[in-house]
Amino acid sequence: MELSELKNRICKSFDGSTEDLTRVLEMVDDDQSIFPFNEYEHLICNLIELGGMTYVQYMEIRSEYIRANPNLWIFEMSSPRGFGEGFAQTYVNGMCAQISKPSKEIDPTFSNEYDLCLDSIKIEVKASRAVDSESKEPLYIKALSRNTDKQFLMNFQQLKPQYCDIFIWVAVFRDQIVIWVLSSKEVASHQLFSGGQHRGNEGQLHIKHDNIHMFDKFELKNGDLGAAIRLAAMR
């Protein structure tokens, strides 16, 4: 259930008169909402007050929405570093206990040019969130599901294949987290990779609604991230 479907779900649960529902919807549309007092809070409060919706029904809708959108909290993270390091690297690390943070003790030449390591494999983690590219709303409102038919653009930037062996890309949808595992050579030679855009030969790659299928073969589907990293390192 995406946010665009939530209002219909709430309205269908209202068992009062059509006139009352229409009046409340008009009132909500005329209201100037401001976070966290948004249109959905206004709508639900009015429908409960009219007696056409119970608190139990509200809790059922709330639970259903949370179950369908378990990753919305990630879209509320405003700090790029908090999202990239605080979430993405921690998420990847949690998927494979053998992954560790690099250090001079592990790699004497290490100078913070990659994020994680597995055995002697150097890993760079990049993350992005899928949002409606035509919306100007906050991220948590324009967050999209994996099966969306809306346009989106995920920008994986500051890509430096020369400094790592493996890239792990974390794509966050409101209902699913997708992991792609690619070797640095596969990134550098990919037709969508744009290198040398910044000083230091940093590159970028845009994954969009119309090219995401090009990365199907790199998607982690069995959950064994360690095996996927080792396999990519051999390619």
pLDDT higher than threshold 70 for residue 107: yes
Beta strands in the chain (DSSP E): 116-118, 121-129, 153-159, 166-172, 177-183, 194-198, 202-208
pLDDT higher than threshold 60 for residue 185: yes
Classify each residue of 93-114 as buried b or exposed e, where b means 16 or more C-beta atoms within 10 Å of its C-beta: bebbeebeebeeeeeeeeeeeb
Instruction: Please report the pLDDT score of residue 34 as a whole number.
Output: 62
Question: How many angstroms separate the CA atoms of 144 and 72, rounded?
Answer: 10
Mean pLDDT of the chain: 88
AA identity, residue 59: M
Percent of the chain with pLDDT over 90: 51
Question: How many angstroms separate the CA atoms of 166 and 172, rounded?
Answer: 19
**Of residues 101 and 33, which shows the higher confidence score?**
101
72-234 maps to which CATH number? Answer: 3.40.1350
- Does the pTM of the predicted model rise above 0.75? yes
pLDDT band at residue 86 using 50, 70 and 90 as cut-offs: confident
Place of tokens 């998420």: 91
**Of residues 199 and 152, which shows the higher confidence score?**
152
Q: Which residues contact 95 (CB under 8 A, 6 or more apart)?
A: 179, 223, 225
pLDDT higher than threshold 70 for residue 126: yes
pLDDT band at residue 27 using 50, 70 and 90 as cut-offs: confident
Instruction: Please report the pLDDT score of residue 17 as a whole number.
Output: 83
Question: How many angstroms separate the CA atoms of 176 and 44, rounded?
Answer: 27
Sheet holding 121-129, edge to edge: 116-118, 121-129, 166-172, 177-183
Q: Which residues contact 142 (CB under 8 A, 6 or more apart)?
A: 131, 132, 135
Instruction: Please report the pLDDT score of residue 128 as a whole number.
Output: 95
